[in-house]
Chain A
């Protein structure tokens, strides 16, 4: 992040330093040293406490998850209520389908908006759009679920993969817009100027030079957005709805991993609990994998730019 302008800092700094000098006269040297020491412990304690809790959760998830996994989980359909065994194969496939649909909705709009903001927009308009994108990013996911129910499920007269993908897709838009704008903007202006100097129209420069140069960054942004919506449950509750079988068409309800984890977690059956843990670990690994993929792109981009 950037800091406030120097004049602001200077005036604030003066005030802070004045306070500092005054307060150091008010306390004895011993008191100050004591505070200094105590705070080291307090802050370390904060960090250790935090880490302890977070680690406990993580370790618990991993142990419970991995001990619950078996081959059936990846290959079988859910069994009737109360019967042991079965798996979430259809839910795993369903999650991938939903993510694919979300990409179809989120990427064109997000990328298009990002490129426009960077290359064409006047500042006031760009400011408004950025602001709206940030606001959109903060809207609770369940609200997107309601929106998709109203504009997708009711007119289509059916819960469907499409409406679930639509809900996840619009959630991706603001994230992709913001990241792709940033990365497109980072493309050196010499590249653009070189293209324009050759008499190539600006749109060709944008499509053939600017976007490909920023592609690694844009992909990273898409991956991060994808990882975030992959675990979303709330927007799927009344759009994708769930399905006990393999999906056959995009206009029918579809199973999704997070949805299945939720259903199984609140149920009383022990075997379902086991499968919920297994689903959780698969979901976590999926999110981490997508994030890792994104990191890989960033690293590759860095290697390129440092090589230049």
Chain B
């Protein structure tokens, strides 16, 4: 039996301050954001989310263009990153020689560690000119009949931002999906082979169908990162609050409007609406993360174990 003396109880209580402070922090962030944005919460209510004017002169604020920009860039980024990322993960886990697989995985982890401001720097000087001179004219020429690929070509655009986001989240998708795939016991695959399946059939029907929940969780976590990604996007999206079908158009996202305008909002109403955008970002990221955790936990049976 554990001996209970006073010092032990004191220690336990003192230590309990720390986990409680984590809960307090999350609650504190929420509370601070709500109280600092009460001006716009009161004035615009839920209309703030569905209103598309952003006019600091008339103090008329709506977050819709930013929500639109965040949704479009994140969605297109996932569209680009998920197939390639999962494909590469399958290759690394199932086809590549173990040594190659391990080396590449280390490289991929290295890329995941590069700060986003550096992706932004690369975006400005390499990606944007490339998009303007090569990719966007090409898309405009051959797919120009689609509304997504019409309009003037500036280089800084929803599309460029989506591409940089895809590049940022792909190492993340690869490394989590690879772990998930490798965790499927080989005995299932072997039984499939015993039934006379081809290698691909074993992978697609057995391995991926077990791994799908874990992979989905990884994708949703990646979505969370894409939504919150600030610097790289700010540097190459063009910073213009519009809602349009064209991916060539410059846009704006929730995170990038904060990066650009937060330090310089001149009026209280302006500041309050920016903080409310922060609140939206906070709530959206919480919902996305809860969703991802539930999916991942349903595979790992609780939060004790973690997909590394």
Contact = CB atoms under 8 A, between A and B. Distances in A.
Given A20-B192, A140-B255, A201-B7, A280 B121 contact: yes
A71 interface: no
A99 interface: no
B274 to A, nearest CB: 8
Contacts, number: 310
A5 B160 CA distance: 43
B235 interface: yes
Interface string B143-178: 000000000000000000000000100110010000
B22 A129 contact: yes
B233 to A, nearest CB: 10
A150 B32 contact: yes
Contacts of A127: 302-303
Interface string A133-168: 111111111111111011100000000000000000
A139 B285 contact: yes
A299 interface: no
A81 interface: no
B167 A139 contact: no
A307 interface: no
Given A39-B200, A43-B91, A277-B121, A233 B115 contact: yes
Interface in A241-300: 258, 261-262, 265-266, 273, 276-277, 280, 283-284, 287-288, 291
Nearest to B174: A50
Given A47-B104, A146-B275, A202 B115 contact: no
Contacts of A20: 192, 195, 197, 201, 205-206
B301 A4 contact: yes
A95 to B, nearest CB: 11
Interface residues of A, number: 108
Contacts of B126: 57, 60
B75 interface: no
Interface residues of B, number: 112
Given A2-B305, A116-B18, A288-B110, A140 B281 contact: yes
22 contacts: A2-B300, A4-B301, A13-B188, A17-B192, A24-B201, A36-B199, A45-B87, A46-B91, A109-B22, A120-B15, A134-B293, A135-B293, A138-B292, A139-B29, A139-B228, A143-B228, A201-B7, A203-B11, A203-B12, A206-B11, A261-B121, A284-B115
Interface of A: 1-5, 9, 12-13, 16-17, 19-21, 23-24, 32-33, 35-36, 39-40, 42-47, 49-51, 53-54, 57-58, 60-61, 108-113, 115-117, 120-121, 125-147, 149-151, 170, 173-174, 177-178, 182, 196, 199, 201-203, 206, 227-228, 230-234, 237-238, 258, 261-262, 265-266, 273, 276-277, 280, 283-284, 287-288, 291
